[in-house]
Structure 1
Amino acid sequence: MAGHSSPLAQDHVVCEFCKASNAEYLCKTCNDRVCGICEKVHHNIHSNTELKAARLGNVQGFCRHHSGQRYEVCCYDCRVPVCTACIIDSHNKHKMVTISVLYEEDKAAILGDISEMKNKIYPEVDLVRQGMMSVLETIPSKCLMVAQYLKTRAEKAKQQIEQIFEEATSQLREMEKQDVQTFTKHIAQIDDMMSNLNKTTSLYESQLQMRYESDLILFRRANPEMSSLKAIPDTLKYSPPFFKGGKSDKAKLSKFFGELQVSSIKHTKIRKIRQKSNRSQARVALVSSLGNILSIPSSKSPSTGQAFSNPPSRSTSLTKSAKSVKDFKRSYSVLTTVNCVSPQKAWISGQHPDIKLMDLDSGECQGIPTECTTSGPSGMTVDKNGDIIYSDFEEKSVAKLVTGSKDMVTLFHTDWNPKDLCIGNQDEMFVCLVENHEGKVAKFNKNGQLLVQFVLDAEGNRLFEEPSYICTNLISDICISDTRKHAIIVLDTTGRRKFEYRRSDADDRHPFDPRGIDTDSDGNIIVVDYGNYEIILISNSGEFLACLLDRNDGLSRPCDVSLDNENKLWVAECRSGKVKVFQIFS
């Protein structure tokens, strides 16, 4: 027989007579391979013998170990094609199968790998990339929010703090540059991996077009699996920089301005990624773990000048250094209010007739009974003399408890059921009133005389649905938490609505559920979000500033909050009946 070229040649077998046409028949007498025309001539050569010719089937490649020998069968134990000599040399007693059997198995495996790369690995890598891109796009806006807060603090300090402000903003810009570079580099690595996946997929698909089944089997043996390609890359968890404000003390200018905390980026393993709906693709699961980021609030509505559109609802605290100071034991089965009277003491009330004084140093509680006969005070505040003013929902009354003598005096009765109340800057009293799913806020003088009621806005629409918590700030704005309307409503001294704040309902959040409310020395509003286990901070113009505390800080159903003179937050937890104290601002 004629000699052969490369043992892995993929050309059709040429007729060994004419050397021009492809072989179609195999002579069983001499094993020559001939074309259809030469088969008749070849028949004459064996005129004295019976010609046993068979149509040529699939022709395999040549054995790598035995020159001139074609693969005949496959060793199933070693999963390689073998020739007759291979069986004798090293595959004796091994299980043999036809080449087509192993070919079909390896073909199915490669098709499975291609399907996995196309339908699972690539989409999951693409989701990781989408999440990284979404975070990358927010980095400048997050850093801009911090820059705006820095600017606000700098304007208050004016020229005295200008140098510190410039240093801090420069440091922030450098953080932003480094963070963007880090994300860009990591996304480039993911792009390289996605490119490799595409190339490997194309290579695998090309193997399915090989003329010799044996070569596909050899390729599969040389590439048994794709473990390096199946590894989903790490994502980067981004914690943006945040600004920690200091005390307003000219003697300690640097401490007043605060300290810029650096951002952080962490590699985070992706445990499981699910294909999101079109609405949620921008908020893939890994981006939720990348949440807790400062967001830039939107401006006033140009049409009304009152209602504000919502910033993204999840934000990291400006005060990452917030720490737990005290966790009091359970005081009531259900706790409703807390009011600080000093950095060490606060009055609390719940669904019980008495009122208790909490002592931060000793951790003890001192109880004083009230005349509430059902579920305890529906609201409570403390006047400038240290006496307790509380409301009785069922009796529709407001009473005073003189703490020194423990005398009880009913100040006045209300037409609707009173809820929370507070004392204004001119010793006036503001009371939240509700009846039949309607609400209003009434203003009384210190003698209990009704001065004015706030019911409708300038357009004649009802201001409230169920005003439940109330306080005033230093410029005498009236801040109301409306639990049924899911909003914070702020009025000026004349009762005109300045703004109405709501938070958006994201996919992974409960509706905004405002409860207890207080203000800081800058007039910013501290609000309890009961349904989302959070305490947030909004500005005195209705802009979202920060999430001060959340369930990661150990909050469980907070319902009221009070800020003392040392910038500690006293938080009342409704269901646990506990009071927890946190150091928020340095």
Structure 2
Amino acid sequence: MANSCERIMAQDPVFCEFCKASNAEVVCQVCYDRVCNICEKVHQNIHSNTDSKPLAKVAKVQGFCSKHPRHRYEVCCSECRVPVCTNCILDVHNKHKMVNISVLYEEDKAAILEDISEMKSKIHPNLDIIAQHARAEKENIPSKCQMVANYLKIRVEKAKLLIDEIYEETINELGEMEVSDVKAMDEHIGHIDEIILKLHNITTLFESQLKTRFESDLILFRRANPGISSYRTIPESLMYSPPIFKGGKADKTKLAKYLGELKPSSMKYCKVKKVRLQTSKRSEARAILVSTLGNILAFPPTSPSSATPSGPVSSNPPSRSTSLTKSAKSVKNFKRSYSVMTSVNCVSPEKAWISGQHSDIKLMDLESGECDSFSTSCLTDGPSDVAVTTDGDILFTDFDEKSVSRVSGKTRVLITTFSTDWNPKGLCSGMHDEVYVCQVENKYGKVTKFNKEGILLFEYVLDGNGSHIFLQPSYVCRNEGSNIFVSDTLKHAIIGLDPCGNVRFEYKRNISDDRSPFDPRGLDIDVDGNIAVVDYGNHEVILLNDIGEFLICLLDRSDGLSRPCDISIDAEKKLWVAECRTGKLKVFQSFSTEI
């Protein structure tokens, strides 16, 4: 009878001998009838008066052995991790440990599910990012090459007809570089697309194996396809550096040297960098503290629902007299430095660079006053804004000349120039000396990101709905999470963006009294990650957290503040405030009061 039972288990699935509709799931060890789960109790009642044995589960039918086609797989070899039949055990695996096929099946099934999850959640998204970046780089190749061509054309116009022949030869060489670069980027994109297609096919194949009829088939498939090791290594992204045109000295006898040398473009692979976005816990704690104190003291608190990462943030800031957790006192009031001051940027707790409507940029010392200065080419209205890099170099924008320059020691280097439609205003420097520049035209504005060589990296222009983010961006700053914050004077708003250009918040103040409209200008990040903003029209400095919620009013007219246009915060929490109309630089010490 035992042999008969084994033969029953070894056959293909059969129907229940009672209902003739459902597949048999158990076999009676008394009469060897095969029944389904529904008819199992009925069958047990038939043998209720006898000393019946329990019903045994009908084992799932396995496929036939590849080495012994007449025998089905019975168990799995634990050491070799393959399904085997009885003959296989006698021939090869007689000293190996055997396990049930279902055990190995579940292990391999879990491994395949993990591989599928990794392909979908990690590998495929990274490949999409690389492919998207490569396509964007490809689209920018003609425009970047055109920038070089435009600069070249300016030099050609100055030399007029004397250098026409050399100009045409160089443009042709640049065109060849462009064609070559586009071809190389096409090959890179094709390679990435090929990997994505293969990955998609593998994912589909793996998912199809989960629906296989025989568990042994999945195990054999898993053994023949051991995971996705060849796709776990994400290929490097191909970075494009456009050709660099180096101008020569103006010498009619050496036209070729005057025109300059066109250096070939370059491409290099770099690893995909993951940017983690996180909010400051200290900033969140401060916002909670301010809100709690407002409730206790019956002051109108800032509504938490008024600030969302993806929508406008509106708030009526309380007067400074209600500010109990933050305050500031005057430390230094410098003598008038300019007729009109435009910017300030700290380099240490003791010193800061300032600029105004004058060609000179001055270094101010907290004790001795002006201690250094240098002249720029901004002769009409002076630099629009000044920033300091991590290396201590000075960056400044020239609104009229449409340029950004770097000063290292006594050496001035032109980083980049803009087209006739765009004028640069505020700027700031990043951790890796990348440069963020506010640019304006007649109707809209944008923020552009360059590397230290002046190569365009990113443009913040449109939001996710295709609408223009900015109207008149004036000042910009950046925090440690690579989020940027921009003051827009026409929108009367502070706009926060993540590194990918998505709008995190848009802070606007509702007008419910006789106060002037919110008029944000300069802004900076304090040591807690909060955003200090000067309100030019209301003679105030306010503090927002990094998700656009109003925290406190730091300074106002009662502190002697008049038409502030820019602010910079040093490591000791001192507020260096530039006043536009008075042309003065004022320093305040910010401090907290324990309640």
Q: Normalized against structure 2, the TM-score is what?
A: 0.49
Q: Normalized against structure 1, the TM-score is what?
A: 0.50
The structure with the larger Rg is 1
